[in-house]
């Protein structure tokens, strides 16, 4: 019971510290968004989206692909033969 009480008190103290300390982490908003009243303006960082067009370039011409010669296999394919499994022994 005492250990449970100590854990509960530690948790309560941690929650109190979290609630009483001011939050100083930055907040990110899009440019033009308004800042809510409960947020300090010093914490706000505005992000502006800028789209840049790529510069014009000449179109590259790739070399022509030549058809590869067909490779014929000399061994006939036989799928009717049984598969050989390795000998497995349980020790």
| β-strands 27-30, 44-47 pairing | parallel
Q: What gap in Å lies between CA 19 and CA 13, rounded to an integer?
A: 10
pLDDT bin (cut points 50, 70, 90) of residue 87 is: confident
Check residue 45 and give its pLDDT: 92
Of residues 29 and 18, more confidently modeled: 29
Residues of the chain with pLDDT > 70, as a percent, come to 86
Kindly list the domain boundaries of the chain, sorted by start residue. 24-51
pTM recorded for the entire structure: 0.37
pLDDT bin (cut points 50, 70, 90) of residue 47 is: very high
pLDDT bin (cut points 50, 70, 90) of residue 26 is: confident
Reported as type and span, the H/E element at residue 4 is helix 2-20
């Amino acid at each position: 019971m005492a250990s449970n009480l100590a854990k509960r008190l530690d948790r309560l103290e941690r929650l109190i510290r979290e609630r009483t300390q001011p939050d100083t982490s930055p907040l990110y908003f899009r440019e033009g968004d308004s800042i809510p009243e409960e947020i300090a303006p010093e914490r706000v960082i505005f992000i502006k989206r800028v789209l840049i067009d790529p510069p014009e370039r000449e179109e590259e011409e790739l070399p022509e692909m030549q058809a590869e010669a067909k490779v014929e296999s000399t061994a006939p394919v036989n799928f009717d033969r049984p598969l050989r499994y390795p000998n497995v022994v349980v020790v």
